[in-house]
Structure 1
Amino acid sequence: MTDHVILALDGGAANAVAERWVAERWRHFGVDVEVTTVLEHVPLAAGYPDVERDRRRERLDRVAERLRERLPDATVRVVMRQGDIVDELLDASRSANLVVIGMTYVDAIDELAHLPLGLRLAGRTKGVLVVVPTAWEGGGTGVVAGWDMDAAGEAAMAFAAREARHAASALTIVHAGHGDLPRDLELAAERIRASHPETPVNVVPNERSAADAILETARGAALVVVGSRGRGPLEDLFLGSVSEHVLARSSVPVAVAPVPAEPIDVSPGLEDEDLM
């Protein structure tokens, strides 16, 4: 299996961890990597746009060369884009399995213009968005998925099960609601166990807020997976979206799985009555 991965560099300090995450993932997945940056509107001083473009291109070439050395079997190419950074990356995501960016820890946000790029893209990319925090130290074991009884929860579960299977690690599912574990979650977990018998699957009840429960469970994990309903970043943020809270606070990489155009079958052909 080969994933088309877009590694998006925004010029910030978090670029290095995103690059490292892509390199580490190659141990379990074949990757075709596109290293990209978006040259936004620049001052019109004489010669400045060309100087900035050349500087960005040199940076991309250095990253691409390091990845070629670390990933000898991978295809690595460089793409320069120009325009609005969010619009350009959303458009690029149409042809990618993963869009990977780094992000600095977020403490407080008061307006859209100050949102980190990861939060501005969350829930809007066509492929899965992976946000790697600067606090990430590498390594970690297991995949943690936040689940809710909707299409976003199913999307997160399907992607998380795939990641856990290929990394030969355990999958831990955290219920993103309150109260007893719903029957639908138990059935979904059983479907994953049936279709991926080599993957240990654990279900964790939630006695706290959903975001806190996911973050607590994910300490020491390799990856956290959450679903997104595809709403705008400000709406989600102010409404207390679980995905955005996890993105803003996690010390391990977070994958945001969008709801697909077609329904997901975690294990096609396995009916609920087969699990009773």
Structure 2
Amino acid sequence: METRPILVAYDGSPDAELALRWAAEEARATGTGLHVVVVDDVVTSPWGLAVAHHGEEVLAGAGAAVSDAVPDVVLETRVGHVMEELLRASESASTVVVGSRGHGRAEDLLIGSVSQHLARHATCPVAVVRPTHTEGSRRIVVGIDGSEASSQALEHACRRAERTGEAVTAIHAWDEHAPSTDVWSSEPRVIDSLPHRQLLLAESVAGVRTDHPDVELEQEAVPVAPVRCLADASRSASLLVVGSHGLGFFGGLLLGSVSQGVLQRAECPVVVVR
């Protein structure tokens, strides 16, 4: 069975350079092909469609950066709307890798519009690459909420850890709402959710421990808002892995509120798994 390549969305920006190096290392370590795509963007103006022709020049820089590191590299320039072309290319990819920001109009945001759009709509895992806060960290953090998407995220992290020797920390975080007051006794009701949360986490991790016995796997149940908890944990992580959406009210969305939030606030590369 043919292995699908890793797709890199490249535009020559510093964040794209970082994403390209990250993807090249992944491709080299896994023996996977690398597909680097530059899109000459079609923009609409009052005078009709116009194309910013810079792809070949940008692509040459990408080729020079990875040609020695990865033997199987495909360099491609496409013409069209950036997001549409990248999503089309992602249909034949194992993973899409993109920098957190690019040269587009949203470059001043914490995460650019292209990377956010890919994380929402691509049908394969999407890695949004940014510098790690703690250089040399060897810990993958995974967000767990009991959903199928988070189970896939944990599986993804453990498969990587088997290859790299990194440790994996599975974190289940939740909002601990202040209990309401009993109207008869004026005493606050005590809701002890910790045992239930610990059980949910243990059940989520149990099967993975069996399937990946050589992976150093820790688990933490933390009564802190999930986005804040995972963002804080990312400061000492080499990678943060989350499911595309969880079990909340908006679980049917293409990208859940937690995964969207950590894309904005994480301080290491993030992989969104679906």
Identify the TM-score tier after normalising by the shorter chain: 0.7 to 0.9
User: 1:152/1:90 Cα in 2 relative to 1: closer, same or farther (>3 Å)?
Assistant: same
- Unpaired runs of 5+ residues, structure 2, are 176-192, 246-251
Give the Cα–Cα distance (whole angstroms) in 2 for the partners of residues 40 and 90 of structure 1.
14
- SS in structure 1 of the partner of residue 120 of structure 2: coil
* Aligned equivalents of 2:90, 2:172: Cα separation in 1: 29
Query: Is 1:21–1:138's contact at 8 Å kept on the other side of the alignment?
Result: no
Q: Is the 8 A contact 1:148 1:175 kept in 2?
A: yes
Q: CA–CA distance in 1 between the matches of 2:237 and 2:33?
A: 25
Contact 1:103 1:134 in 2 (8 A): no
Quote the residue 2:239 is aligned against.
223
Distance 1:97 1:170, change over 3 A: same
Superposed counterparts of 1:35-50, under 5 Å: 35-42=36-43, 49=51
Amino acid at match of 1:208: V
2:68 match: secondary structure: helix
- 2:222 corresponding residue in structure 1: 206
Q: Which AA in structure 1 matches 2:130?
A: P
Contact 1:99/1:130 (8 A) holds in 2 = yes
Change (3 A) 1:115 1:60: closer
CA distance in 1, matches of 2:122, 2:44: 29
Letter in 2 for 1:141: R
3-state SS of the aligned residue for 1:119?
Answer: helix
Task: Read off the aligned partner of 2:85 and give its amino acid letter.
Answer: E
What's the counterpart of residue 262 of structure 1?
Answer: none
> Is 1:118 paired with 2:140?
no
Q: Normalising by structure 2, report the TM-score.
A: 0.77
Q: Distance in 2 between matches of 1:89 and 1:136?
A: 28
Q: Which amino acid in 1 is paired with 2:8?
A: L
CA contact (8 A) 1:218 1:224 kept: yes
How many residues get paired? Answer: 239
Percent same amino acid at aligned positions? Answer: 28
Q: SS of the counterpart of 2:14?
A: coil
Q: Mean Cα displacement is larger for which, 155-164 or 8-17?
A: 8-17
1:77 maps to 74
Q: C-alpha separation between the residues in 1 aligned to 2:98 and 2:13?
A: 10
**CA deviation after TM superposition for structure 1 residue 185, in Å:** 2.3
Q: Which residue of 1 aligns with 2:182?
A: none
Normalising by structure 1, report the TM-score. 0.77
Residue 134 of structure 1: how far off its partner (Å): 5.2
- Tell me the equivalent position of 2:66: 67
Cα separation, 2, equivalents of 1:243 and 1:13: 24
Aligned CA distance change for structure 1 residues 94 and 14 (closer, same or farther; 3 Å): same
Query: Pick from 143, 149, 153: which aligns with 2:150?
Result: 153
- Computing the radius of gyration from Cα coordinates, the structure with the larger value is 2
Q: Using a 3 Å threshold, how does the CA distance of structure 1 residues 231 and 253 change in structure 2: closer, same or farther?
A: same
Aligned to 1:103: 100
Q: Which residue in 1 is equivalent to 2:262? A: 246
Question: d(CA) in 1 for partners of 2:134 and 2:91?
Answer: 30
Equivalents in 2 of 1:62, 1:99: separation in Å? 19
| Partners of 2:165 and 2:95 in 1: CA distance | 20
Q: Deviations over 1:197-235 (max 9, x none)?
A: 1101100112211011112222232211011137256xx
Tell me, in whole angstroms, the C-alpha distance in 2 between the residues paired with 1:137 and 1:34. Answer: 29
